[in-house]
Amino acid sequence: MQYRTLGRTGIKVSPYGLGALMFATQVGNPDPQDSIRVIHKALDAGLNLVDTSDAYGDSEEVVGRALKGRRDNVVLATKFGRPTGDDPNQQGGSRRWIMTAVESSLRRLGTDHIDLYQVHVLDPETDLEETLSALTDLIRTGKVRAIGSSNTPATGIVDAQWLAERRGLARFHTEQLPYSILNRGNENDVLPTAQHHGLGTLVWGPLGQGMLTGRVRRDQANDLRRARFFQHLNDERRIDVVERLLPLAEEAGLPLTHLAMAFTIAHPGVTSALLGARTLDQLDDLLAGVGVVLPDDLLDRIDEIVPPGTDVTRLDQAYRPPAQLDPALRRRPRTARSAA
């Protein structure tokens, strides 16, 4: 395993990390013991980065149980900010919530420190200085080693770096973002901005939310495609690209999963790509591709199918600016002379 440095932190992480959403019994593997076996096998294979969130159901608890006796050899990352209950204060980036959320995560994870504590999404209703100030205090107390942001636009990354320098606060060390062959839009701004500021990057969705597994084909029945949560698997534009990538992977002698993962970690701005394996079979398939390096001519052919900097339809989970969500933010107030 060739480890990479996480930004400028000095922390070494594997190029493939383990995303822990699928270890939540409510949305992923219903058997915690099976999830623990998946985690142990990943660690035994050399993966040393595990990423979870307080918004992933009981994922933190499952991860905490799996890391007993192995905590010191793992770079443990978790996130806060998304709603975890009905209380409107159980979310966001306020100092009040951060101090509560970190203690809860530490308890569920069964540890006294978090290696990377990330804002799941920047809170537009909280002054960023408040968020960074609280996170800085957590670093100083030793409860957190490094801090990061997630799903942040390039302008948000720049603002946070500028504010941290201006106010003498800890700066974000990492950014977590979506990136795959099917979604290359972040090549335009987020990845170059992260590189410019020396941020490490964790990539989610490298298999295109299941599209790049090779199991979703045109005119092929699939139970997942009938489920509300997986409606993106019916996107004909994404299926068209998959149908063009499959013969390319076959010609290269690779499963599509290996082609997709190797493409993702080939970008110089990507530090680690998060695997969303739910079962041992899925993990075995992905681990078999560790070490695959794509030649330039193959990368060029992928560029012909999905040009650099383009998205094959937008991800539902991708960041959307507040003005896209609230019409009032993109319309000037009407004056008395405005047309009715």
Residues 6+ apart with CB under 8 A from 291: none
Three-state DSSP at 115 gives strand
Q: Which residues share a beta bridge with 4? A: 13
- Residue 215 binned pLDDT confidence (cut-offs 50, 70, 90): confident
Q: Is the pLDDT of residue 225 over 80?
A: no
* pLDDT, tens digit (0-9, with 9 covering 90-100), for 49-85: 999 999 999 999 999 999 999 999 999 999 999 999 8
Domain boundaries, the chain: 4-330
pLDDT reported for residue 216: 77
How long is the chain? 340
- Alpha-carbon radius of gyration of the chain: 20
Q: Which residues contact 333 (CB under 8 A, 6 or more apart)?
A: none
The domain over range 4-330 is classified in CATH as 3.20.20.100: yes
User: Nearest Cα to 68, choosing from 23, 110, 38?
Assistant: 110
Report which secondary-structure segment, H or E, holds 327: none
Q: CA dist 28 to 19, 31, 199, 267, 279, Å?
A: 12, 9, 30, 29, 9
Known catalytic residue: 117?
no
pLDDT (tens digit, 9 = 90+) per residue, 124-153? 999 999 999 999 999 999 999 999 999 999
Mean pLDDT score of the chain: 92
What pTM value is reported for the model? 0.90
Structure tokens at 59: 């994922």
| Structure confidence by residue, pLDDT tens digits, 242-299 | 999 999 999 999 999 999 999 999 999 999 999 999 999 999 999 999 999 999 999 9
Residue 324: left if φ>0, alpha if ψ -120 to 50, beta else—which one?
alpha
The mean per-residue pLDDT over the stretch 96-121 comes to 98
Q: Which of 16, 56, 117, 179 is catalytic?
A: 56
Query: Are the beta carbons of 8 and 271 closer than 8 angstroms?
Result: no
**So what's the pLDDT on residue 322?**
73
**Predicted confidence band at 229 (pLDDT cuts at 50, 70, 90)?**
very low
